Amino acid sequence: MKNVNGILYIVLSSVSFGVMPILAKLAYNQGATTYSVLFLRFIFAVFMILYYLIKNKISLKLTKRQVVLVISLGIFGYSGTAGSLFLAYNYISVGLATMILYTYPIIVSLLSYFIYKEKLYTKKVVCFILSLIGLYALIGVDNVSLINTKGLVLAAMAAVFYSLYVIGSSCNDIKKLNSFVMTFYISVVSAITMGIAGITTNTLSFNLTFYSLVCILLLAFISTVVALMAFLQGVKIIGPSKASILSTLEPIVSLVLGYIILNQGINFQQIIGSILIISAVLLLTLDRKKLLKSN
């Protein structure tokens, strides 16, 4: 039953994250800037979670080590991911950006090789090659001149930052934290980071339409509070490897909703590329020996 709960948490997280680029794009279409959306998203999330914590009398106390880890994960993990990804939405389709982000399990595996000295066995190499071929098919040589390079680089940066976040979230000191407490502090750090970024780039504006404000509120609740809480809780229960398997739902949700709501086309080549990337992730994370070691 415990594993079932972990699975449901990750599925909920994946769907919640999957609608994130759609809500962001809808806010952008109403004139909202990237850092305004991100700053308000995290500020709203902070107050939503704080209300829950106070109501349920949950302690916000952290150890010194947890403070360092939370700040590091907030700045170099989640803020880096959100900032890079939301900027990428300005230059490339949400489907392409999300699929590039979704190469993070491959990056997690490679980082584990360098950080934890995990063996780089044949399956990992095959998965890495598959993901590269998938990205090649997804972008397409004929389309390179039509796709904004800046958007591709930003999406790739988001994948690296998120890989660091996933690795950090699985450490014992973070696992001990209540998921809502962790999400609260991640949101606080991210709000401060995005506020500073918006001020320094002179793009922090609160001149928003009612429609864009609604989109940001939904981002705060669905794609921040619910998504982060569910992901952290799921990783605690079933571990990062199994969580990666179930997270394959996220890019699929983004691709489909991007096509339905934003009218962003999907061609056969992009479908093949997406299938290759998701297959690489599944092949990597379905390694039973690795799963046993990670739990």
Q: Which helix (H) or strand (E) holds 119?
A: none
What pLDDT is recorded for position 1?
Answer: 65
Alpha helices in the chain (DSSP H): 2-18, 20-29, 34-55, 64-72, 80-88, 94-101, 104-115, 122-139, 149-169, 172-175, 179-200, 210-220, 227-246, 249-261, 268-285, 288-294
Indicate the pTM of the whole model: 0.80
Calpha distance 170→152 (Å, rounded): 28
Tens place of pLDDT for every residue, the chain, 295 residues? 667 788 888 889 888 988 999 999 999 999 899 999 999 999 999 999 999 999 999 999 999 999 999 999 999 998 999 999 999 999 988 888 888 888 887 788 788 777 766 666 777 778 778 877 887 777 664 455 567 889 999 999 999 998 888 888 878 888 888 888 988 999 999 999 999 999 999 999 888 999 999 999 999 999 888 887 788 788 778 776 677 667 777 788 888 888 888 887 777 777 888 888 888 777 766 654 444 344 3
Residue 155 has which token pair? 């999406």
- Looking at residue 228, its pLDDT comes to 78
The pLDDT value recorded for residue 111 is 80
If DSSP codes are grouped into helix, strand and coil, which group holds residue 216? helix
CA distance 223 to 236: 19
Which value, in Å, is the radius of gyration of the alpha carbons in the chain?
A: 18
Q: What is the pLDDT of residue 285?
A: 62
Per-residue tokens: 93: 């389709």
